[in-house]
Protein backbone atom coordinates (compact mmCIF):
# COMPACT_ATOMS: atom_id res chain seq x y z
CA UNK A 1 0.00 0.00 0.00
CA UNK A 2 1.47 3.32 -0.99
CA UNK A 3 1.04 5.77 1.85
CA UNK A 4 2.06 8.84 -0.16
CA UNK A 5 -0.69 8.30 -2.75
CA UNK A 6 -3.35 7.79 -0.08
CA UNK A 7 -2.11 10.82 1.84
CA UNK A 8 -2.32 12.82 -1.37
CA UNK A 9 -5.92 11.76 -2.02
CA UNK A 10 -6.85 12.43 1.62
CA UNK A 11 -5.64 16.02 1.30
CA UNK A 12 -8.71 16.56 -0.90
CA UNK A 13 -11.38 14.06 0.25
CA UNK A 14 -11.96 11.56 3.05
CA UNK A 15 -11.84 7.85 2.17
CA UNK A 16 -12.81 4.77 4.16
CA UNK A 17 -10.42 1.93 5.00
CA UNK A 18 -12.07 -0.42 2.47
CA UNK A 19 -11.72 2.31 -0.16
CA UNK A 20 -8.03 2.61 0.74
CA UNK A 21 -7.65 -1.08 -0.05
CA UNK A 22 -9.53 -0.76 -3.34
CA UNK A 23 -7.39 2.22 -4.39
CA UNK A 24 -4.26 0.19 -3.66
CA UNK A 25 -5.42 -2.53 -6.05
CA UNK A 26 -6.43 -0.05 -8.79
CA UNK A 27 -2.99 1.62 -8.96
CA UNK A 28 -0.21 -0.71 -10.24
CA UNK A 29 3.49 -0.17 -9.51
CA UNK A 30 5.80 0.34 -12.46
CA UNK A 31 9.47 1.31 -12.73
CA UNK A 32 11.07 3.20 -15.60
CA UNK A 33 14.68 3.83 -16.61
CA UNK A 34 16.05 7.31 -17.22
CA UNK A 35 15.39 8.24 -20.85
CA UNK A 36 12.30 6.02 -21.19
CA UNK A 37 8.99 7.58 -22.16
CA UNK A 38 5.80 7.76 -20.16
CA UNK A 39 4.10 8.93 -23.37
CA UNK A 40 5.26 9.52 -26.95
CA UNK A 41 3.41 11.77 -29.38
CA UNK A 42 1.29 9.79 -31.82
CA UNK A 43 0.23 7.39 -29.06
CA UNK A 44 -2.80 7.50 -26.77
CA UNK A 45 -2.11 8.34 -23.12
CA UNK A 46 -3.41 5.20 -21.38
CA UNK A 47 -2.57 6.01 -17.74
CA UNK A 48 -2.51 8.59 -15.02
CA UNK A 49 0.62 8.05 -12.93
CA UNK A 50 1.51 9.12 -9.41
CA UNK A 51 5.28 9.64 -9.11
CA UNK A 52 6.74 8.07 -5.98
CA UNK A 53 10.37 8.46 -7.18
CA UNK A 54 12.00 10.32 -10.05
CA UNK A 55 11.21 13.10 -12.44
CA UNK A 56 9.74 13.73 -15.90
CA UNK A 57 9.88 16.45 -18.50
CA UNK A 58 6.94 17.42 -20.71
CA UNK A 59 7.86 18.54 -24.22
CA UNK A 60 6.51 19.25 -27.69
CA UNK A 61 8.33 19.10 -31.00
CA UNK A 62 8.23 22.48 -32.74
CA UNK A 63 9.86 22.54 -36.20
CA UNK A 64 12.10 19.63 -35.24
CA UNK A 65 13.15 21.17 -31.95
CA UNK A 66 12.15 19.70 -28.58
CA UNK A 67 10.65 22.38 -26.36
CA UNK A 68 10.12 21.62 -22.68
CA UNK A 69 6.96 23.09 -21.25
CA UNK A 70 6.92 21.48 -17.82
CA UNK A 71 8.45 19.11 -15.27
CA UNK A 72 6.94 16.64 -12.82
CA UNK A 73 8.37 15.12 -9.67
CA UNK A 74 7.59 13.06 -6.57
CA UNK A 75 4.05 13.25 -5.17
CA UNK A 76 2.68 14.69 -8.38
CA UNK A 77 0.33 13.15 -10.94
CA UNK A 78 1.65 12.71 -14.47
CA UNK A 79 -0.50 12.39 -17.59
CA UNK A 80 -1.50 14.20 -20.72
CA UNK A 81 -5.15 14.71 -19.84
CA UNK A 82 -5.85 16.21 -23.26
CA UNK A 83 -5.14 12.70 -24.62
CA UNK A 84 -6.14 10.62 -21.58
CA UNK A 85 -9.66 11.98 -20.97
CA UNK A 86 -11.03 11.48 -24.50
CA UNK A 87 -8.48 8.71 -25.31
CA UNK A 88 -7.21 10.66 -28.32
CA UNK A 89 -3.75 10.67 -29.91
CA UNK A 90 -1.21 12.79 -28.03
CA UNK A 91 0.71 15.69 -29.58
CA UNK A 92 2.89 15.89 -26.47
CA UNK A 93 5.70 13.81 -24.99
CA UNK A 94 6.52 12.84 -21.41
CA UNK A 95 10.02 11.45 -20.73
CA UNK A 96 11.79 10.33 -17.55
CA UNK A 97 14.82 12.41 -16.57
CA UNK A 98 15.80 9.91 -13.83
CA UNK A 99 15.10 6.27 -13.01
CA UNK A 100 11.57 6.42 -11.64
CA UNK A 101 8.86 4.56 -9.73
CA UNK A 102 5.21 5.23 -10.45
CA UNK A 103 1.76 4.04 -9.47
CA UNK A 104 -0.38 3.79 -12.60
CA UNK A 105 -4.13 3.75 -13.01
CA UNK A 106 -5.71 2.89 -16.36
CA UNK A 107 -8.65 4.70 -17.91
CA UNK A 108 -10.89 1.73 -17.12
CA UNK A 109 -9.75 1.46 -13.49
CA UNK A 110 -10.19 5.20 -13.03
CA UNK A 111 -13.84 4.68 -14.01
CA UNK A 112 -14.02 2.04 -11.24
CA UNK A 113 -12.43 4.53 -8.84
CA UNK A 114 -15.13 7.07 -9.74
CA UNK A 115 -17.90 4.49 -9.45
CA UNK A 116 -16.81 2.72 -6.25
CA UNK A 117 -15.15 5.39 -4.11
CA UNK A 118 -17.89 7.50 -2.52
CA UNK A 119 -15.93 10.77 -2.86
CA UNK A 120 -14.18 9.63 -6.04
CA UNK A 121 -16.10 11.92 -8.39
CA UNK A 122 -15.53 14.85 -6.02
CA UNK A 123 -11.80 14.11 -5.94
CA UNK A 124 -11.73 13.92 -9.76
CA UNK A 125 -13.69 17.15 -10.15
CA UNK A 126 -11.39 19.09 -7.81
CA UNK A 127 -8.13 17.65 -9.22
CA UNK A 128 -9.21 18.20 -12.84
CA UNK A 129 -10.10 21.78 -11.88
CA UNK A 130 -6.63 22.33 -10.41
CA UNK A 131 -4.95 20.76 -13.46
CA UNK A 132 -7.11 22.90 -15.69
CA UNK A 133 -5.92 26.12 -14.10
CA UNK A 134 -2.30 24.92 -13.94
CA UNK A 135 -2.42 23.82 -17.59
CA UNK A 136 -3.78 27.15 -18.81
CA UNK A 137 -1.24 29.11 -16.78
CA UNK A 138 1.64 26.92 -18.00
CA UNK A 139 0.60 27.29 -21.61
CA UNK A 140 0.09 31.06 -21.25
CA UNK A 141 3.54 31.37 -19.70
CA UNK A 142 5.10 29.11 -22.36
CA UNK A 143 3.90 31.41 -25.14
CA UNK A 144 3.92 34.84 -23.46
CA UNK A 145 6.52 35.14 -20.70
CA UNK A 146 10.07 36.35 -21.29
CA UNK A 147 12.94 33.90 -20.56
CA UNK A 148 13.86 36.00 -17.50
CA UNK A 149 10.35 35.69 -16.05
CA UNK A 150 10.19 31.98 -16.88
CA UNK A 151 13.50 31.44 -15.08
CA UNK A 152 12.22 33.23 -11.97
CA UNK A 153 8.97 31.22 -12.02
CA UNK A 154 10.91 27.97 -12.42
CA UNK A 155 13.17 28.75 -9.45
CA UNK A 156 10.14 29.75 -7.42
CA UNK A 157 8.00 26.71 -8.33
CA UNK A 158 10.77 24.05 -8.26
CA UNK A 159 13.69 25.31 -6.13
CA UNK A 160 14.75 21.70 -5.50
CA UNK A 161 14.84 20.79 -9.20
CA UNK A 162 17.55 23.31 -10.20
CA UNK A 163 20.25 20.80 -9.24
CA UNK A 164 18.46 17.73 -10.61
CA UNK A 165 17.68 18.89 -14.14
CA UNK A 166 20.43 19.23 -16.80
CA UNK A 167 21.08 22.85 -17.75
CA UNK A 168 20.08 22.35 -21.38
CA UNK A 169 16.64 21.12 -20.30
CA UNK A 170 16.13 24.21 -18.15
CA UNK A 171 17.32 26.37 -21.07
CA UNK A 172 14.76 24.67 -23.34
CA UNK A 173 12.06 25.26 -20.71
CA UNK A 174 12.71 28.99 -20.45
CA UNK A 175 13.21 29.28 -24.22
CA UNK A 176 16.89 30.19 -24.64
CA UNK A 177 20.16 28.56 -25.74
CA UNK A 178 22.19 27.03 -22.86
CA UNK A 179 24.83 29.79 -23.10
CA UNK A 180 22.14 32.45 -22.53
CA UNK A 181 20.86 30.55 -19.48
CA UNK A 182 24.13 31.09 -17.59
CA UNK A 183 23.82 34.85 -18.11
CA UNK A 184 20.24 34.79 -16.79
CA UNK A 185 21.34 32.66 -13.83
CA UNK A 186 24.08 35.15 -12.92
CA UNK A 187 21.61 38.04 -12.99
CA UNK A 188 19.24 36.09 -10.70
CA UNK A 189 21.57 34.62 -8.07
Question: Footprint of a second copy on this chain (CB under 8 A)?
Answer: 81-82, 85-86, 114, 119, 121-122, 124-125, 128-133, 135-137, 139-140, 143-144
Residue whose CB is less far from a second copy, 30 or 125: 125
CB of 168 vs a second copy, minimal distance in Å: 23
For the sheet with 56-62, list strands across it: 37-39, 93-96, 56-62, 65-72
CB of 122 vs a second copy, minimal distance in Å: 4
Residue whose CB is less far from a second copy, 85 or 155: 85
Residue whose CB is less far from a second copy, 136 or 149: 136
CA-nearest of 102, 108, 109 to 36 is 102
- For helices 147-157 and 167-174, give the axis angle rounded to 10 degrees: 120
Spatial separation of the C-alpha atoms in residues 61 and 163, rounded to whole Å? 25
CB of 133 vs a second copy, minimal distance in Å: 5
Q: CA angle, 105 as apex, 100 and 111 as ends, to 5°? A: 165
Residue whose CB is less far from a second copy, 54 or 109: 109
Amino acid sequence: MNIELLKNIEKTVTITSSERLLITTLFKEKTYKKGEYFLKEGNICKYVGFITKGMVRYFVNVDGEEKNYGFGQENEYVSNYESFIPQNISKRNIQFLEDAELLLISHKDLERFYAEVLNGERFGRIIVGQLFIQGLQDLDSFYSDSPEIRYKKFVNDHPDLLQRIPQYHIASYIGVKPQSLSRIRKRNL
